[in-house]
Structure 1
Amino acid sequence: MRDKTILIDLSTSYQFRHWRPMGILRVEHEVWRAFAAHFGVGTVPVIYDEARGGFYRIPQAIFEEVIFRNGFQPEAPARALTAPRRWRSWARIGRFVWRVSRRLRAVGRDSGQGARPSEAALRARRESAAAEELLRLSGDEYAQMRRWLVRLERIAPPIAPRIRALDALNHRAHYGLIDTVHDEICADRNRISPEEVSDYVSAGGFWGDARYRAAYEMRQSHGWRLSYYIHDLIPILWGHVAEPTTRKTFPPALHWMLWGVDRIWTNSEVTRCDLLAHAASCGYPELNPTHVRVVALGADALPRTTPADNLAGIFAHRNLEPGRYVLMVGTQEPRKNHAFAYRLWRELCARHGGDVLPLVWVGQPGWSIDPLLAMVRADPGLPHGAIRILDDVDDAELQVLYGNCRFTIYPSHYEGWGLPVVESLLHGKPCLTSDAPALIEAGGGASEAIGLFEGERWLARTEALMVDEAAYRAACAQAERFKPHRWADFRVTLTEGFDVDSSEKSSRPATSYALAEDATTYREDAA
């Protein structure tokens, strides 16, 4: 029987509790469920606070609200209304810039008195001050200011990360997520005592702050056993199409993790091989292959029954006909390869004119996608409505769009897994994908992979699935053969052998290693 606790790090779910639980957030939730069911009260949900330099138990009284009810969202703070005249809006924007600059300088001056707070604490103060000023702008005024910042970015590209950081802060301020329940969680009574812990489990975005380093240090000083769930190595292997901030923060985080880890789970055999190859080629301590296991993600989503009047309303609103469109789901960013889909549909329209079904892009705009979206909207060679861009689709409507599309495409350059492929097949819809290895693995033989250099094959198959009923029925029959890995299977597989492993000493060295203190230096060395 265990006399120590297992920490399940839910920091990512906490930080993004205003998002619907998909992707990494859903994985964190399922990891918690798996360990809570298997080990009961010996499992403790925690978040990491960088300013305080420790892990904190999430109180039971607010746990469900914070983690499992899609966000503890108190009433959003009152936001300014748009000024009645445009010049007044610009005056408020100018005042915002002036006030923020003044308050940020004041935070720096105040920190010079007495003991100097940590950088994380200073950052929290700056964010709080900036968020308060952001709420003096209306949503329209923020969008107005942002348009000019994006124009400025064209001549000063280095400001791009600051614009994204401002977007994130504006979003958190709008939802009341600045200094909400954080102090309640990170109280002294909830701080985790290192000597009470046997295992630390992380399945989230461990590269988002310094939690990976704190866990490593606990391993060194208190013998914690560290277990990580790794989703992909895209920021390292495909950094040229990865989001710039992640491209900077992920390599040093993985560096610390690989110097001190006892157990790793991956979402696919592709990610497992990527990880083992990277560790071996970069000279990290040897990973025991038996301690690096594939635990495939679950997929329980099934078609939902939607009332006929609701269906009619959805399709009227989107100007679509059931069964008469093609779907592509995913964040709009370079790696997902919307540019390929655009060129494919442009060529189809050039050959067949108005007989081509519209292509519907569903997903939030990501980094560096604006030039492509502007090109799609302005292209005179693309018929009106040939590509529809939907960035405001909720879960229920996404189910409807999957269930009523003709087929789906997913020409991504690279993935660690392929959730849109799985979702398409779960709805019995044929899915054409690139030949990225993880997409082939996710499809389980029920999808159809075509190389991105085989343009004519893509054209031929999309044409066939649009107009050839025999080919379409055969593709649907292939999709129906898909055998998903359920979330229940995920939870069972994840905890298999954990009791036995936890009683063993780590086979990896516990010696301290010279780790790069400077993330930039490490990143350049790794490149």
Structure 2
Amino acid sequence: MVLSDRSGECEYIGDRARYCDPSCSDSLRDAVREAWDEPITPAQALDLANHVKEQFSWEKHVQQTRAVYDEVLHRFAEIRTKEGNKGGIFAAKTGHGDIILDVTTWANNANMLSGIVRVERSIGAELIKRMDLSVRFVFYHSNEIGFIEIPREVIIKDILNAYMVRLMSQKLKKKNAIIFSDNSNIISVGSSWMLNSDYAMELAHFARGHKLTLTVLMHDMTPALFPHWYEGNYGERWERNCAIILEHTNRLLVYSESTRRDVSAFAEKYDITMPTVAKIRLADEVGTFESKSTPEGMRAQEFFRSRPFVLSVGGIHLRKNYGLLYDVWLILRERMGDACPHLVIVGGVSWNGAETARVMRDDPKVNSHIHILDNIDDSSLDWLYDKALMTAYPSLYEGWGLPVGESLAHGKICLSSNRSSMKEIAPDLTDLIDPFDRIRWASMIQHYSTSSTSRATREAEIRENFTVTSWSETTDHIVEALAAEMKVRAATVYNLGDVALVGNHGEGASYLPSGWYGSEVWGRWAKSTIGTIELRFAHVPDEDVVLTVLAKVLKPSHERLRYEVRANDRVVGLWEFPPVAVGEETADLLINRVVIPQEIINKDDCLVIEMIGDHAFAVREVFHSFEDARRLGIGLSAFMVERRSQAGDAAILFSTREDIRAALQVEPSVDLPRRLPKRSIVPPLRPTRGYMISGPSAESDRLMGEMAFMPKTTA
């Protein structure tokens, strides 16, 4: 390499390059000739490559740049402190590291202005204003890429939607390395984990891998308490992911005591140790994220400018109990005729509210007085709150009930359900009613609609006594919760001899770091050729141990796959999945075993097991009718580590476990050990057959001869 001697290259590269005077052709020619005649050796080339990799990586650039900014801010804060900090916009940094806000929900719904997206967006907008904090933003891209950092400018300029469109059009191929300060916190206030188990696990692994304290805002427990309100297995999937979140989070945020009780009951049901719980107050502000009026918003203002109406905010959903309001308006129309106020529903129709909405629109008795609005901008929603006679919120269950606080913040009467958290918001200023008492709802709406004196008196009471909580204050509550003491949760430890399932409801998932796809009934697939298990033992093994895994691989029948097994970076065995002859029956899940010497287990009682394959096939390479391009590594169903002296027939042991039978979808009456020969490969099971290749001892050879196959299941 020939470089100029007039700039900083010499400082960066040193004697690893040749230098010349760039203004002198003779100097340049001589340097190039010398480089041609005396090329660098392979050792010198490797030294140069390592030097560049270590000194000029993006990781080091980010680390050093942040250090410079931190030093500048620190010095500026010291100057301000000495001067009394009069009018200063900077304050001395706290003793905490970064605060990382996960904006995955916002990033995937950048044009949505309601619900959880509004909460995430509002908190992000407030955090970015805090000059006393080091605030950063990330979002979950995919299984392959993981989390990506979002530039602060994107949040400041509120251009996340445009940024996401551009980013998702790029073909990213690998994860970006992100470096955080010590004692940093990552906060998830969105809903992305609720149906995405990959995200839930990756969030936990991301926090653990970067040594971040994970804080999660639990909005409510609706799917666990009322699974019948949702289609299919939504509730079951939600519960499974909620269990993952509770097992891995360090701190939980809730809005209400109602939610705190519901979460505690859920944790007890699943035998999960509760993390530290902090209660925060949700803001009562609508906000003005979308200041530009939408056509729908402008039409709503024009239509209701001279018509009395009751406002109800929230999409039509079984949980929101709009069926009650339909019945109430039937009563009111019959009682009041054309003097009946209009019902304005802002939020559109949710996925299980279509039938309720259809009835409201089609019933000639009420359809002239019930209006379902969507795409209402923030300024128009503010206008509707200000002009409404009152608001109605008959929800059957909430984690908080944001429209209740928004109504009171506008000085408006709110008729609210007396269930769950809604009675905690402002019990003395909210008219709380049983959400099943239609007559009471109709009577209260008729009373306030026809008595301007009663309405004015109640509104004056609300304006005088209700204290509005801003999004800035909600964000302050979160920051205070991060600084509060937190109980240390005991690390997940493994007891020798425990059989750990990694599929649905299995506790084995807690031993899997990043690099695995979401849970299926039978187990999990590795995302690459490497599948890793991390164990911290409750007691130090006093002898060699035997690792037993129930696993499978995805491959064409004619291919051979080998998996090298490493324990704390030491090779302890090799598992081989051979080709299958045409017409030969093969078991789907195989029992694989290997002996791990006691001396290689770390002094801190940790054991990191890596199962490293020589190739990973894409699903569509094996099943040509599929479009799935994922490359799947080893498929792990269950594993066990036991003392060598106690290792027995794993097939018999596994066959006695009801949870394994359930994972394999095998009836209790099936005698697995006796049925295996009939449903597995015909040739005798020997190490030389290739299904197991021994580890580092003669004991491994003995154990390999005891291998047995498990029955075929559906992947």
* TM-score normalised per structure 2: 0.51
From 269, 294, 297, the equivalent of 2:279 is 294
Pairs aligned (count): 406
SS state at 2:421 partner:
helix
C-alpha spacing 1:295/1:244, structure 2 compared with 1 (3 Å): farther
Cα distance, 1:185 vs. partner? Answer: 10
Match of 2:611 in 1: none
Q: What do the CA deviations read for 1:473-517 (whole angstroms, capped 9, x no partner)?
A: 23223332322222222122211153464xx78333343695753
Provide the rounded CA distance (Å) in 2 between the counterparts of 1:199 and 1:185: 29
* 2:269 equivalent in structure 1: 281
Q: 1 CA distance for matches of 2:181 and 2:413?
A: 53
CA distance 1:42–1:358, shift in 2 (3 Å) = closer
2:423 matched to which residue of 1?
440
1:37-95 per-position Cα deviation (integer Å, ceiling 9, x unaligned): 66867432111122325221113454445xx346227xxxxxxxxxxxxxxxxxxxxxx
Any idea what SS the aligned residue of 1:361 has? strand
2:82 is aligned with 1:8: no
1:375 corresponds to: 359
Q: What is the DSSP-based 3-state SS (H/G/I as helix, E as strand, rest coil) of the residue aligned with 1:47? A: strand
1:361 aligns with 2:345: yes
Higher strand share: 2
Quote how far apart the aligned CAs of 1:396 are.
Answer: 1.6
Task: Give the drift of 1:6.
Answer: 4.1
Decide which of 489, 496, 501 is 2:473's aligned counterpart. Answer: 489
| Percent identity over paired residues | 25
Q: Which stretch of the first structure deviates more once superposed, 245-254 or 188-197?
A: 188-197
**CA offsets, 1:170-208, max 9 Å, x none?**
xxxxxxx7x632366957584325897843221111334
Residue 207 in 1 paired to residue 194 in 2? yes
The 1:221–1:63 alpha-carbon spacing in structure 2 relative to 1, beyond 3 Å, is closer
Instruction: Evaluate the alpha carbon distance shift between residue 440 and residue 50 of structure 1 in structure 2; reply closer, same or farther with a 3 A threshold.
Output: same
Find the residue that maps to 1:466 and give its secondary structure: helix
Deviations 1:254-294 (A, max 9, x none): 1111112211111222212211222123311244xxx2011
Find 1:71's aligned residue among 153, 158, 161.
161
CA distance in 2, matches of 1:419, 1:341: 19
User: Which digits, 9 at most, give the CA deviation of each residue in 1:454-477, with x for residues without a partner?
Assistant: 222222211111112332223223
2:383 matched to 1:400?
yes
Q: Distance in 2 between matches of 1:49 and 1:302?
A: 28
SS of the residue corresponding to residue 52 of structure 1 reads coil
- Taking structure 1 as reference, are residues 191 and 294 closer, same or farther at Cα in structure 2, changes over 3 Å only? same
Change (3 A) 1:339 1:489: same
Q: Summarize the alignment of residues 175-190 of structure 1 with structure 2, pairs less than 5 Å apart.
A: 180-182=166-168, 190=176
Relative to its length, the structure with more helix (as a share) is: 1
Q: Which runs of 5+ in 1 are unaligned?
A: 74-176
CA drift of 1:28 comes to 2.2
1:511 corresponds to which residue?
A: 493
Distance 1:520 1:396 in 2: 45
The 3-state SS of whatever aligns with 1:328 is strand
Native 8 Å contact 1:19 1:70 kept in 2: no
Greater alpha carbon shift after TM alignment, 36-45 vs 361-370? 36-45
Q: Does structure 1 residue 464 correspond to structure 2 residue 447?
A: yes
Which deviations, in whole Å up to 9, do the C-alpha atoms of 1:339-359 show, x marking residues without a partner? 110011001212232221111
Classify the secondary structure of the residue corresponding to 1:496: helix
8 Å CA contact 1:203–1:228 kept in 2: the answer is yes
Alignment match of 1:333 (pick from 317, 326, 329): 317
User: CA 1:324–1:259 in structure 2 vs 1: closer, same or farther (change >3 Å)?
Assistant: same
Q: Is the 8 A contact 2:128 2:156 kept in 1?
A: no
Q: Distance between the aligned counterparts of 2:481 and 2:349, measured in 1? A: 41
Q: Which residue of 2 aligns with 1:125?
A: none
For 2:451 and 2:420, locate their aligned partners in 1 and report how far apart those are by CA, in whole Å.
Answer: 28
Alpha-carbon separation, structure 2, partners of 1:316 and 1:30: 25
| Cα distance in 2 for residues equivalent to 1:201 and 1:39 | 18
Q: Which residue of 2 aligns with 1:414?
A: 397
- CA–CA distance in structure 2, aligned partners of residues 280 and 384 of structure 1: 46
Q: Aligned-residue CA RMSD in angstroms?
A: 3.6
Query: In structure 2, how many angstroms separate the alpha carbons of the residues matched to 1:270 and 1:476?
Result: 27
For 2:104, the aligned partner's letter is: S
Which residue of structure 2 lines up, in the alignment, with residue 233 of structure 1?
221
Q: Does the aligned pair in 1 maintain the 2:145–2:173 contact within 8 Å?
A: no
Change (3 A) 1:520 1:32: same
Tell me, in whole angstroms, the C-alpha distance in 2 between the residues paired with 1:384 and 1:286. 48
Query: 1:45 maps to which residue?
Result: 137
Aligned to 2:456: 473
Structure 2 counterpart of 1:19, from 104, 108, 112: 112
Output the CA distance in 1 between the equivalents of 2:182 and 2:169: 23
- Corresponding residue to 1:58 among 150, 158, 170: 150
Q: Which residue matches 1:148?
A: none
Cα distance in 1, alignment partners of residues 385 and 194 from structure 2: 33
CA 1:249–1:478 in 2, change beyond 3 Å: closer, same or farther?
A: farther
Match of 2:250 among 262, 282, 285: 262
Aligned residues of 1:59 and 1:185 also touching (Cα < 8 A)? no
- Residue number in structure 2 paired with 1:192: 178
Q: 1:106-161 CA distances to partner (integer Å, 9 max, x unpaired)?
A: xxxxxxxxxxxxxxxxxxxxxxxxxxxxxxxxxxxxxxxxxxxxxxxxxxxxxxxx
Query: Which residue type is aligned with residue 194 of structure 2?
Result: W
Contact preservation (8 Å) 1:445, 1:482? no
Alignment-mate amino acid for residue 138 of structure 2: V
Is contact 1:59-1:190 (8 Å) kept? Answer: no
- What pairs up with 1:296-335 in 2 under 5 angstroms? 296-301=281-286, 314=299, 317-318=302-303, 320-322=304-306, 324-335=308-319
**Compared CA separation, residues 452 and 61, structure 1 to 2 (3 A):** closer
Bigger relative contact order (CA 8 A; separation at least 6): 1
| Runs of 5+ unmatched residues, structure 2 | 1-93, 505-518, 523-658, 663-715
Code of the residue aligned with 2:107 in structure 1: it is Y
Distance of aligned partners of 1:512 and 1:230 in 2 relative to their CA distance in 1, 3 Å threshold: farther
Q: Is this contact kept in 1: 2:415–2:433, CA < 8 A?
A: yes
Partner of 2:406: 423
Distance 1:41 1:453 in 2: 47
C-alpha distance in 2 between matches for 1:3 and 1:493: 16
**Residues 421 and 439, structure 1, Cα contact 8 Å, conserved in 2:** yes
